[in-house]
Amino acid sequence: MNVRPTLISLLVLSAPLGAAAQNQPATPPAQTTPAPAVPAAPQPRTIPAANYVALGVYYYEQGKYDEAYVAFRAASELEPGNGNALLGLGRSQVKLRLYSAAIETLKKLITVDSRNISAYIALSQAYQQQYIGAGDRASVTGNLAEALRVLSDAETLAQAQTGTDRSVSLSKVWNERGYVYKLQGDGPQAIDAFKQASTLNPDNAIFLYNLGDMYYATGNLPLALDYLQQAVIADPRDPYNRAYYAKLLALSGNVTAARPEAAQAAKLAPDNAYAVGEYGVVSYLSKDTVTANAQLTAAIKLDPLRYPEFYYYLGRLNLDGGDLKSARDNLTRAAALGSNTPEYAYYLGLSYERGAGIMAPDKVKARENYQRALKLNPNYKPAQDGLARVGTS
């Protein structure tokens, strides 16, 4: 093994030679042997930027975004114009919620490589994620319009491509537009955008999933089921597609078909909180309380903050069993994490309206939560009925 000597070790090694020289006679011997040449210390090797990029890609694909960020940053410092380094750095910054930094990085990439379609799409995603993550969305009101503007630039570039590249690039642009329209609350335009994406790339399971999701969000359960079934067929091993499809089957009343789909999703990805949790949801809807409790609890343990739905169904399970303390705890978490969902507020109110054992009814808190549900949806009849039961004051 070649070990590069440090400055300290070189100094230590040279010290005895200096001391010996001081003890030599003043007059050198008549004949001297030439001292052997001392080889120069090896120069430090510079790791190529491409190596750091490859390392960043590896970490990013593993979900280790901190490590990916460090690797991509090192690559971009070595080669400031390296497009792959800047793209990876911008995407890693988005994952780490460094949205402003990500936007600047991706803008820089576009100035370096103005024909990089991936850069435009990543920049649009950065604008969207900054909007989603903002505590005060009024401060980022222009983000969604900017995201659409960037996608228009990407579409212009994609139109200039040919063959399969053109179709694939355009499908990505339209899919991203669908996300923006969804954030804007424009369901019909989101559906049209996802349809455009799926038409251009019909075998893409993500596009089919997005269509199914939007049809469900706009109240069309049959079409939602149709597209989610297609998504499962297109990518049978994707746990998200299958788990979502299973839940919608159960919500449609077809629990017989839903249960094996949900079980398979959880089996495919036992560490995936969404797949595990939706198995719990389907089990609850199938009246299998034991499996529901186990799967919902496991999903919350895997990811405690991402899915308020799982606290909601666990709270419903507690409420059905008369465990009001647990019901109130879980429904409080659901209502806090899913603050825009009237059902969560309503069932939290219901848990306070009821009493059991030492848990007395609390009509004040019940009323507050019914009113909160009605503020989110003035036509939500369960909350209207609940408020009529406890009174308005």
In a domain, 243, yes or no: no
Residue whose pair of structure tokens reads 């606290």 in the numeric block: 311
User: What is the DSSP code (8-state) at residue 359?
Assistant: B
Listed in sequence order, the residues at least 6 apart from 125 whose beta carbon sits closer than 8 Å to its beta carbon are 94, 147, 176
Over the stretch 17-38, which tens digit does the pLDDT of each residue have? 333 334 444 445 555 556 666 6
Give me the mean pLDDT over the 355-380 stretch. 92
Give me the mean pLDDT over the 366-392 stretch. 95
pLDDT at residue 3 greater than cutoff 50: no
State the Cα–Cα distance between residues 390 and 393, nearest whole angstrom.
Answer: 8
Number of domains within the chain: 2
Residue whose pair of structure tokens reads 């410092």 in the numeric block: 77
pLDDT at residue 386 greater than cutoff 50: yes
Among residues 136, 160, 184, which one ends one of the domains?
Answer: 160
In terms of Cα–Cα distance, which of 343, 342, 328, 334 is closest to 377? 342
pLDDT at 218 (0 to 100): 96
In a domain, 338, yes or no: yes
Among residues 114, 140, 160, which one ends one of the domains?
Answer: 160
98 sits in the region (left: phi over 0; alpha: psi -120 to 50; else beta) called: beta
State which residues form the domain around 379: 307-393
In a domain, 156, yes or no: yes
Over the stretch 202-250, which tens digit does the pLDDT of each residue have? 999 999 999 999 999 999 999 999 999 999 999 999 999 999 999 999 9
In a domain, 228, yes or no: no
Where does the pLDDT of residue 167 fall: very low under 50, low under 70, confident under 90, or very high at 90 and above?
A: very high
Over the stretch 85-110, which tens digit does the pLDDT of each residue have? 999 999 999 999 999 999 999 999 99
CB-count exposure of residue 135 (10 Å: 0-12, 13-18, 19+): exposed
In a domain, 26, yes or no: no
CB-count exposure of residue 176 (10 Å: 0-12, 13-18, 19+): buried
In a domain, 227, yes or no: no
Q: What average pLDDT is seen over the chain?
A: 90
Query: pTM for this structure?
Result: 0.81
Among residues 116, 131, 160, which one ends one of the domains?
Answer: 160
CATH number, domain with residue 123: 1.25.40.10
Where does the pLDDT of residue 135 fall: very low under 50, low under 70, confident under 90, or very high at 90 and above?
A: confident
Give me the mean pLDDT over the 364-368 stretch. 96
121 close to 172: Cβ distance less than 8 angstroms: yes
Where does the pLDDT of residue 356 fall: very low under 50, low under 70, confident under 90, or very high at 90 and above?
A: confident
In a domain, 42, yes or no: no
319 close to 338: Cβ distance less than 8 angstroms: no
User: What is the DSSP code (8-state) at residue 46?
Assistant: P
In a domain, 13, yes or no: no
Please report, as a single letter, which amino acid is at residue 329: D
262 close to 283: Cβ distance less than 8 angstroms: yes
Alpha helices in the chain (DSSP H): 7-22, 49-61, 65-78, 83-95, 99-112, 117-133, 143-159, 163-183, 187-200, 205-217, 221-234, 239-251, 255-268, 273-285, 289-302, 308-320, 324-337, 342-353, 363-376, 381-390
pLDDT at 152 (0 to 100): 98
